[in-house]
């Protein structure tokens, strides 16, 4: 079992919200507006990792156009930066506050583990982002 400061038994509370569940949809819908702005159009997500606790969620996903269409990086807000990016993979930290999921931070196209600072910066348990 994993434990974090304060004695919280996190291993029992981490879960992957099921495909088609209201919780999964709420998490991804809270992330969608920021990613759609960067991708300059509607997106759906192919989720690689979705790890949630009662208060936090971590998402790693590939954005694509609805119906499965590829996103041309040159037609996004990252035009001119894509040569220093590793694709368009999205990494996001979500928090559950006031009865809904909210995006706290996100990164696109990381070439390193930029989200490793999130536990110190935001107080998320390291296990939520896979840094246990």
Q: How does pLDDT run across 106-115, given as a tens digit for each residue? A: 999 999 999 9
pLDDT band at 122 (very low <50, low <70, confident <90, very high): very high
CA distance 38 to 34: 6
pLDDT digits (tens, 9 = 90+) for 46-75: 999 999 999 999 999 999 999 999 999 999
Q: Is 21 exposed, middle or buried (0-12, 13-18, 19+ CB in 10 A)?
A: exposed
Residue 67: what pLDDT?
97
Q: Where are the domains of the chain?
A: 3-129
This model's pTM is above 0.95: no
């Amino acid at each position: 079992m994993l434990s974090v400061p304060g004695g919280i038994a996190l291993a029992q509370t981490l879960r992957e919200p099921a495909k088609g569940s209201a919780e999964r949809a709420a998490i991804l819908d809270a992330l969608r507006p920021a990613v759609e702005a960067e991708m300059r159009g509607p997106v759906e997500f192919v989720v690689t990792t979705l790890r949630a606790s009662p208060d936090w969620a971590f998402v790693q996903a590939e954005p694509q156009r609805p119906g499965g269409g590829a996103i041309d990086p040159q037609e996004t807000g990252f035009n001119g930066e894509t040569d220093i990016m590793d694709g368009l993979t999205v990494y996001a930290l979500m928090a559950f506050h006031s009865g809904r999921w909210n995006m706290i931070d996100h990164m696109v196209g990381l070439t390193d583990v930029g989200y490793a600072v999130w536990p110190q910066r935001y107080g998320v348990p390291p296990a939520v982002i896979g840094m246990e």
